[in-house]
Chain A
Amino acid sequence: MKPSQATQRIAKRVVITGIGLVTPLGDDPEELFAALCDGRSGVATIENFDTELLPYRQGGEIRDFKPADYLGSKNLRPLDRTGRLAAAAAHNALLDAGWSEEARADHTIGLVLGTLFGSVHTISQFDCRALTAGPMYAKPLDFANSVINAAAGQTAIWHRLPGVNTTIAGGPAAGLQALGYAADLISSGRAKILLAGGADEMCYESYVGYHRGGLVCGGTGNAGSASRQPPHPIPFDGRRNGFAPAEGAAFLVLEEEEAARQRGARILATVRGHATTFDTSLATDTAATSASLSRAVGQALARAQCTVDEISAVSASANGAVRGDAVEATALADALANRTDAVPITAIKSMLGEPMGAGGALQVATLVTSLAHRTLPGIAGFSQPEKAVTLGGLSAETRKLPQSRAPIGLATALGLQGPSAALLIEGGADDGTSHHV
């Protein structure tokens, strides 16, 4: 799709000026990057809820999450876990970008948050209490958080963000959709400064749902035999048998480039283009599903006025899912065309698990750091490529990226029965000025 003249002429450039995240592998972008490069995993046996009745117990939990470390001593009771994760990541992102409470007093900062569930735990708890104790004993506080935009609302209240406050639910693509929409709002002049990213919590209800869907790693998945039981997710690997549900939150601070430069902000990267597409077969036709993702990549490249030859690295959404990873591999092979063997690809969900709404923002956040260091983490545990699809860029090894003045990174998100998305960022020059410190 070719953007019209009008679109190109009014577009403002959108830059990333801050990153804030909370993950099973830490809350500091540099520490997370180091952990990913070392192949450390945040996936372990679940502790936050009782797994006694579940055959598989692997998940990406944030252990010892202490919201007060980020949010101070104010009363945290009104926020559920998703809300706390989101508010903590937002706190870090605002500080990282230099938007302290005083600095942002005269600015209308808004928020676009991607999520898959909001908090299905809060919703279910509210309902179950009404069922067992009677409706008049249900908890009003839980009801306030039962709306899917609760985390976005709580984050805006906590940090006093009066601008646009949008929640996007797009399955695994929610995070990239949120970043893309936020970039468009700034690019078109509708907003100047936005927090964009996503959040989801790890909870019993969603875990049971994924388990009953046959999607959690540790079992035999859809296609595997009893002998194929790696307990950890291994994206793109022939032995994979599912993903590890996980949790996390990540926000990037997006700003209009000129204003960011004027205030002396540190520019981490530029959002070059994005697109989102949909597979109308609802994943009943695998070829159509993969075509929808490769179409998103093509449209994102067209929007960015960039070619596939310029892509330095890919951060894929592959998480170990038996069907999804094969579809994403096919889509990437198609989208990368003549460079199928050349472009290094990572899949951070091999180590972070599947953080749902936070996934896309975590892919982009770690891609920003990767481009700054010219280093791409490997895919932990990857050793046996699937025969059907050849992607030369898959590797367990952490790789140096070629030196390039302004490297381009591609993040992809595949939605089975939901939208897919692709987003391109451009890293800074390799002179240390734009490194994340």
Chain B
Amino acid sequence: MKRSLALVLVLTLALAFFARVPSSRAQDTVTIQLMGWSSSPAENAALEEMIAAFEEANPNINVDLQLVPEYDTTLQAAFASGDAPNVFYVDSSRLPDFVDAGVIAAGGDMIVDPEGFFPSLVDVFTIDDTFYCPPKDFSTMALQYNKALFDAAGLEYPTNDWTWDDLTAAAEALTSGDTVGLVVPPELPRWLPFLYQAGGSVLSEDGTEVTFDSEEAMTALELYLGMVEDGIAAPPSELDAGWGGEAFGTGRAAMAMEGNWVIGALEENYPDIEYGVVELPAGPAGEATMAFTVCYGVAADNDHPEESWALANFLTGPEGATMVAEAGFGVMPAREDAAAVWLETRGIEFEAFVTGAANAHRWQFPVGFGDFIDTFNNGLKEAMAGNMLPEEVLEDSVAIAEEILAE
């Protein structure tokens, strides 16, 4: 008796295991899965609103929005198991991996009105002359300054025409007691603008050669580390903060170089702070900043490619971009027309974030450069602690970059 019961149980389980859930192809409505990560509640609400508008315009498409924690891990597992969402967020730094793995569909002609995007953003999502995915929105790095601390020090507010010398002079004048002039996170993307402002680069234009071992890189490193050594700048952890924006918010740093995300964070956690935003100071080779951007990727292995592109195009098209702009949260829409709307909603004082798009560099490296980033970050931290020399940081990083390219 027991044995037959067990047998029935095992058989049932086996049946359940192998039985295929009948596909919903027969029905007219198509369900598109959209996977992303959760940003601020305001941003999530805006996205849900956009999706509702899309569903109304396309009654035969049903969008299943999944905002997941540990996004990278979840998405990767979904790909690996062959059960990828139809549409998903792609961070610019991750695109080369996905292209290399062949899991992301090449957008090309499927992308509506590509001329409307900021050219620098189209460039970010273009690999080997293929425009893969339409950019969702973007952030650029700019200089934030605490007005009260500038007033107290009797300094004039920074301008868009600032140079490195202005920055260091102001940082020195602003340093007193617990407060330092500038917060400098020991992270590659925060330092890269200085490299580009100095005229340096990590890789050659075509990405085949390491150009990091240069005078310019040394100049930029010495500036960044020199400010720490002089005590006029410090990493966030030295200022009891988890990141630059926090150190700026608590007033431990009079200036910070953060992206658009700082707007929402300051509003939420430090609503009383009076601050302004200007473009990053210019170096010997002029102005430069970084653009951090995310696109809507469409899965290569996709049962409903047309509907997926319809969704991606709606969310990033003129209409979608305008909705992003009007919601007015921290990040900026990727279309130039909509960016103007964003400024209207957000206020002209944030103009520096938009104008930064003109000289923004991409946050993206070829496949395998994660080790390079880790090595550099680690070196930068060690150098800030006084355990490594700037030239050692450069030497180690160059060696790693060359090793990766050689593979």
The reply to whether chain A is a binding partner of chain B is: no
CB within 8 Å of A: which residues of B? none
CB within 8 Å of B: which residues of A? none
